[in-house]
Amino acid sequence: MDINQVAQMAGVSRATVSRYFNDGYVSQEKRAAIARVVEETGYVPSRQAKTLRTGKSGLVGIIIPKINSASVSRMVAGITGVLNEVGYQALLANTDNDAAREVSFLRLFSERSKVDGVILMATVLTPAHDAAIAALPVPLVVLSQKLEGRSCVYQDEYGALRALTERVLSAGDRPAYIGVLEEDVAAGRRRREGFLAGCAARGVAVEEGACVIADFSIESGYAACERLMERGVSFDTLVCATDSIAYGAMACLADRGIAVPADVQVAAVGDSDISQVVTPSLTSVHYHYKTSGAEAARMLAESMADEDAVAREIKMGYDVVVRDSTRQKRM
Amino acid sequence: MDINQVAQMAGVSRATVSRYFNDGYVSQEKRAAIARVVEETGYVPSRQAKTLRTGKSGLVGIIIPKINSASVSRMVAGITGVLNEVGYQALLANTDNDAAREVSFLRLFSERSKVDGVILMATVLTPAHDAAIAALPVPLVVLSQKLEGRSCVYQDEYGALRALTERVLSAGDRPAYIGVLEEDVAAGRRRREGFLAGCAARGVAVEEGACVIADFSIESGYAACERLMERGVSFDTLVCATDSIAYGAMACLADRGIAVPADVQVAAVGDSDISQVVTPSLTSVHYHYKTSGAEAARMLAESMADEDAVAREIKMGYDVVVRDSTRQKRM
DNA sequence: TTGTAAGCGTTATCAA
DNA sequence: TTGATAACGCTTACAA
């Protein structure tokens, strides 16, 4: 069943049928005739052909570092919600934390414009990324990192960590920090800087060696905490770059008979569902991930609709959620 | 840059260029000439045109109930891994637990074969589903539910719950159960049946009203546990259909000063990352979600490659992971 | 082994 | 307001 058959059955030209589905520049009678035929046959225009002809696929590519992550999946949920609303489909590209694959997906999406737009959930931004981004023939929105001159939506990592740190240091004065790789500017560098700023604001010195690195896993959080103790760092306050790291660290402390929050208070970032169920419940920064995703999708939709929409940067707000893993009173 | 220009520059017909990229029925010299031009220009064939001509899009539709879920995202990770390997892209459709949207996505994917295959991560299977599935013009694999006569990959819910229940009842004899909706055959019905079978196998009676329903959230687990106690059900063993429910239930028990596992032991299904970090760590059934997703993708790839590949059902194995929330000794 | 030519199902241009 | 007609970029008989 194609447009020609519909045209024939309705006694019009195929151009008229096309108009019926698009502009709508069709007389009442012909319109009715076509409507009837469409009704009877259940005809639906071929997206493929339309795509070939118009160059628009109705697809949006989403590049994500890891689907199996609370923050990422919340952002994706926000994205797909908005996208479906405005008639786009999400094309998912999972890189499994491999920055090189990020670039190759960017290229894949560039080839002959298979997609109408791209959302890049970035971890690191290398020169290869810049090149691939520059070569992208369709609108792009960067999520989770700030990229100068590009539309992007990101969290206020610095502000959040600074606020969190100041807060917990109202009941502690020997801080330690478990972060992630600095190459990840947002989660690595900015969070650590925020932590240090918070310490400085409180006039608290950070002991040499009191900042260690983990990856995003629970196990590495455990290991990092162990390292801290082996180094002989003395701390009564532990700030972690992610909730997962904190879970690992808390397990490590528990195994050594160190009480949380009495001996060491723990705070982190991400506020995943389970942070309120672990014991003690975890003080954590809450980011509006789902909203961030929705926001990014909305910006992209705008850029796709309007050729020369101007780039915008959105810095999202945050909430510090105080729970039982820290000593200061809830405010 | 299109195939015609390449052909012209290489001094061959466009049919030859096409063969160069497909069959490979090209002489050495022409092959070399084309290779050079392709190299120089960076030409890449248009997928769109190829799709229109061949009817194959290189896309696979994945319908999921909720991306923001540990089990789902693990399955998706498995799927995308395999799919990328064999040259397909995943088209993600998130239904947000709305069965009606499941059907409408099924239809969307049917329209003019926008996708070459579909993986349906099912929760419920209504008559509307059956109809939409029957109308699907491309191969389908059902994930997480068993569907007679269709290729599917699912967990051994019955066996797992039975084994888990028998295991925990070696140290308890007053069981209770928090399940999910029966309409979800796999997670609802089969798990409950497995629980009851486990009780029966141990010769343990299940008290009237000792089985309640929650949804998949932590909060509803808390509420369900509360309900159990308000009803006056006396239990020393609590089996939950999902880890999230168990987290909620454990929080509820803790709030009432009931010790786990001393007073009540708790066990669940899913073995998500945090089950080993909550206190006490949670005894849970481990399913091989990522492998299930990979398996489903592999079956689909096979069906897409081979018109008349035969339907297969794969029942995945499981492991009972015993931790501190239950009383029986680790075996 | 290669080239010619006929589509695949649309939409856009133009003249009527 | 409508209908021819020409693309869009590719694949594939079929003939050479």
Tell me, what CATH number does B174's domain have? 3.40.50.2300
User: Residue A50: inside a domain, yes or no?
Assistant: no
Q: Which residues contact B25 (CB under 8 A, 6 or more apart)?
A: B19
pLDDT at B279: 86
**Mean pLDDT for chain A overall:** 93
Cβ atoms of residues B273 and B73 within 8 Å = no
Q: What letter does residue A296 receive in the DSSP assignment?
A: H
Protein-contacted positions of strand C (CB under 7 Å): 1-5, 7-13
Structure confidence by residue, pLDDT tens digits, A230-264: 999 999 999 999 999 999 999 999 999 999 999 99
Amino acid A307: pLDDT: 78
- Which nucleotide in the DNA or RNA is closest to residue B26, CA to C1'? C1
What is the number of structural domains in chain A?
Answer: 3
* Same domain? B225 vs B268: yes
Give the three-state DSSP class for A211. Answer: strand
How far lies B154's CA from each of B16, B140, B141, B161, in Å? 46, 14, 11, 14
In a domain, A322, yes or no: no
* Dihedral angle, C-alpha B186, B192, B197, B198, nearest 10 °: 100
B117, B304 Cβ separation under 8 angstroms: yes
The pLDDT tens digits for A73-88 are: 999 999 999 999 998 9
Identify the domain boundary among A246, A267, A286: A286
Q: B173 Cβ partners below 8 Å, 6+ apart?
A: B202, B204, B236, B237
Do A78 and A195 sit in the same domain of this protein?
no
Whether residues B96 and B162 share a domain: the answer is no
Pairing of strands B175-179, B211-213: parallel
Residue B114 falls within a domain, yes or no? yes
Residue A324 forms part of a structural domain: no
Q: What's the mean pLDDT in B71-91?
A: 93
The DSSP secondary structure of A16-70, one letter per residue, reads HHHHHHTT----HHHHHHHHHHHHHHT----HHHHHHHHS--SEEEEEES-SSSH
B243 and B255 together in one domain? yes
B255 contacts B201 by C-beta, under 8 angstroms: no
Q: Which domain holds residue B116?
A: 56-155+289-317
Contact at CB, A89 and B91, closer than 8 angstroms: yes
What gap in Å lies between CA B151 and CA A252, rounded to an integer?
Answer: 45
pTM: 0.90
Q: Is the pLDDT of residue A55 over 80?
A: yes
Q: Are residues B96 and B180 in the same domain?
A: no
Q: What is d(CA B255, CA B258) in angstroms, rounded to the nearest whole number?
A: 8
Whether residues B63 and B139 fall in one domain: yes
Q: What confidence score (pLDDT) does residue B331 get? A: 53
Percent of all residues in chain B with a pLDDT value above 70, rounded to a whole number: 98
Buried b (16+ CB within 10 A) or exposed e, A126-136: eeebeebbeeb
- B191-210 pLDDT, tens digit per residue, is 999 999 999 999 999 999 99
Whether B224 contacts B218, CB under 8 Å: no
Tokens matching residue B40:
């120089």
Residues whose CB is below 7 A of strand C: A 2-4, 14-15, 18, 21-22, 43, 45-46, 48-50, 52-54; B 11-16, 19, 25-27, 29-30, 49, 52-53, 112
Please give the Cα distance from A230 to B176 (Å, whole number): 45
Residues A162, A150 share a domain: no
Q: Are residues A176 and A241 in the same domain?
A: yes
User: Residue B213 is inside which H or E element, if any?
Assistant: strand B211-213
Residues B83 and B172 in one domain: no
Residues of A in contact with B70 (CB under 8 A): 68
pLDDT confidence of residue A276:
86
A61 & A132 share domain: yes
Residues B282 and B162 grouped into a single domain: yes
Distance B24 CA to C9 C1' (A): 28
User: Where do the H-state alpha helices sit in chain A?
Assistant: 3-10, 14-21, 28-41, 47-54, 70-85, 99-110, 127-135, 157-168, 191-202, 218-230, 243-255, 289-305
- Asked if residue B180 lies in contact with residue B216, where contact means CB atoms within 8 angstroms, the answer is yes
- The overall longest dimension of chain A from CA atoms, in Å, is 87
Instruction: Indicate whether B29 and B103 sit together in one domain.
Output: no
Nucleotides of chain D touched by protein CB (<7 A) = 1-5, 7-13
Contact B250 A277 (CB under 8 A): yes
Kindly state whether residue B300 falls inside one of the protein's structural domains. Answer: yes
Question: In this predicted structure, what is the pLDDT of residue B164?
Answer: 98
Find the distance separating the first CA and the last CA of chain B, reported in whole Å: 66
Asked whether residue A225 is assigned to any structural domain, the reply reads yes
